[in-house]
Amino acid sequence: MTKGKAYILRQIRDLVVNKRAYSEEEAEDYIKEHLEDTVYQLLVLKKELEDQEPVDVFEPPSVRWFRGEMRCSE
């Protein structure tokens, strides 16, 4: 793997973690799926990810309660 391809894959991993709310493990699996792609295919994929809106992560109210951000009366 070339340095350029590794750099693009690292950028894609960062994008799926930040924009798609993937965990580190999910992001690594996503990258493994695209290891055989050409540099051009990776650049197209990166552009598509950059153009997407960030995913809102659903956080159930119980999680806020367990962290102490919410009281039982709310």
Question: pLDDT tens digits for 24-48?
Answer: 899 999 999 999 999 999 999 999 9
pLDDT band at 64 (very low <50, low <70, confident <90, very high): low
What whole-number distance in Å separates Cα of residue 74 and Cα of residue 72? 6
Q: Is the pTM of this model over 0.85?
A: no
**Which pLDDT score is estimated for 63?**
55
**Which pLDDT score is estimated for 71?**
55
pLDDT band at 23 (very low <50, low <70, confident <90, very high): confident
What whole-number distance in Å separates Cα of residue 45 and Cα of residue 48? 5
> Residues 44, 51: contact at Cβ < 8 Å?
no
Q: Which residues contact residue 22 at a Cβ distance below 8 angstroms, ignoring those fewer than 6 apart?
A: 16, 30
Average pLDDT, the chain: 83
